[in-house]
Amino acid sequence: MSIELLDRLFRLVSEEYESAWFIWHGGEPLMLSLQFYRDAIAAQEKHFGKDSHRIGNTVQTNGIRLDRKFMEFCREKKINVGVSYEGPGNNVLRERTSDVEDNLNMLTKREHVFSVSSTVSSEMASEQTSLYEYFRDRRMAVSLSPVIPAGCAALRHELVPDVGEYVKGSIAAFDRWLADADAEIPLIPHYLYLLNALGEPTESDCAHSSCLTKWLCVYPDGSLYPCAKGRLPEFRMCGLGDVERISDAFLTDGFRKMLAGTVERREKCRSCEIFDHCGGGCSMDACYEGGIENNGNPSCRIYKEIFTHIKDRTESIIKDRKDLSQYNKFVRDAVTGRLIDPRMPM
């Protein structure tokens, strides 16, 4: 992506939005040099100001090319680093696992902060408790999500986990984390679901907080899409050079198609007992799994079962006034907050 294109993006966003979060991902974003990021952040600072609280950045990398210099730059510019890494299951989906592990060990030694996103394949679906323990022992905050039949997995369906196995493995990992009194990491998305069950807003969980008009994906050629989870031609909105305001991109046919399909699906979701928590789920997941206008797809079933389990457990902790010391500190704090402020809906 050219710096000129980025400069235009930052200008348009700064003119119209109070705040924005930029996620740099790929492909592999660290195929670009450190100088590219220096120039990009300089362009951002030109439009938003230095040390602006209006913006944030996250780089999502496979970790192979992470090095000390890049991490020091991220520390200086307060850029979040997310690593896509599956721990003991990394070889199933990725390569050069030992290089990634060396880099992560180096970062940990130097006290650099980063989080991990693990994509759970069919092979790892029943191993999610071990995955949690692996990252817990290394004090790496981890987020687990299933492989969906998009991207590479569209051609390798055997990687997509069975719904029942995934749910079972995910619930077991949650129960382990819940009762892990010494846990120093939140388990995501379970922790967000628990906050949601307690009535807290969880905007970072895009699938259950309505992403539409709030997220935008910019491809290197400037093409705009409503989401980064795939480049389906029917949802292409326009080019960055075609609009004078970012909000104009949401008036295009590509976005209307995304919106119309999503509204149709959400109408079908209204009778669902957890609609107020779910909001109808992720449109791109639905799109890949059975049509944007349909619910009942694997992502819907996975969310419903896992969320309902977490909600039931959370309600029983509150109702039975159980001894909170048996739960991890994230759960203790969240439940204590709810008990102090019982106005929150449940």
Neighbours of 133 (CB within 10 A): 18
102 or 293: whose CB is closer to ligand SF4? 293
Minimum Å gap between C-beta 144 and ligand SF4 is 15
Shortest distance in whole angstroms from residue 112 CB to ligand SF4: 27
Q: How far is the CB of 269 from ligand SF4 (least distance, A)?
A: 3
**CA 268, 238, 269: angle at the middle one, nearest 5?**
5
CB nearer to ligand SF4: pick between 183 and 286: 286
Q: How near is the Cβ of 345 to ligand SF4 at its closest, in Å?
A: 17
Q: How far apart are CA 338 and CA 341, in angstroms?
A: 5
Please report how close the Cβ of residue 196 comes to ligand SF4 at its closest, in angstroms. Answer: 12
Phi and psi angles of residue 277, each rounded to the nearest 5 degrees, phi first: -90, -40
The rounded distance, in Å, linking the Cα atoms of 255 and 283 is 12
- Alpha-carbon span 130 to 169, nearest angstrom: 10
CB of 118 to ligand SF4, least distance (A): 16
Instruction: Kindly tell me which of 215 and 219 has the beta carbon lying closer to ligand SF4.
Output: 215
Rank residues 32 and 274 by Cβ distance to ligand SF4 and give the closer one: 274
CB of 81 to ligand SF4, least distance (A): 20
**Is 43 or 300 the residue whose CB approaches ligand SF4 more closely?**
300
Cα three-residue angle 167-125-118, rounded to 5 degrees: 105
**8 Å CB contact between 136 and 89:** no
CB nearer ligand SF4, residue 97 or residue 226: 226
3-state secondary structure 187-242: EECHHHHHHHHCCCCCCCCHHHCCCCCCCCEECCCCEEECCCCCCCHHHCCEEHHH
Supply angle C-alpha 243, 265, 302, rounded to 5: 110
Q: Which is nearer to ligand SF4, 106 or 272 (CB)?
A: 272
**223-225 vs 187-188, strand pairing mode:** unpaired
Q: Where are the beta strands (DSSP E) in the chain?
A: 20-24, 55-61, 79-84, 115-120, 141-146, 187-188, 217-218, 223-225, 238-239
- Residue 163 CB, shortest distance to ligand SF4, in Å, is 12
Question: Which CB sits closer to ligand SF4, 21 or 113?
Answer: 21
* Interacting residues with ligand SF4 (CB under 6 A): 206-207, 211, 215, 227, 229, 269, 272, 274-275, 278, 280-284, 295, 300, 303-304
Q: Six-digit token pair at 251?
A: 């008036």
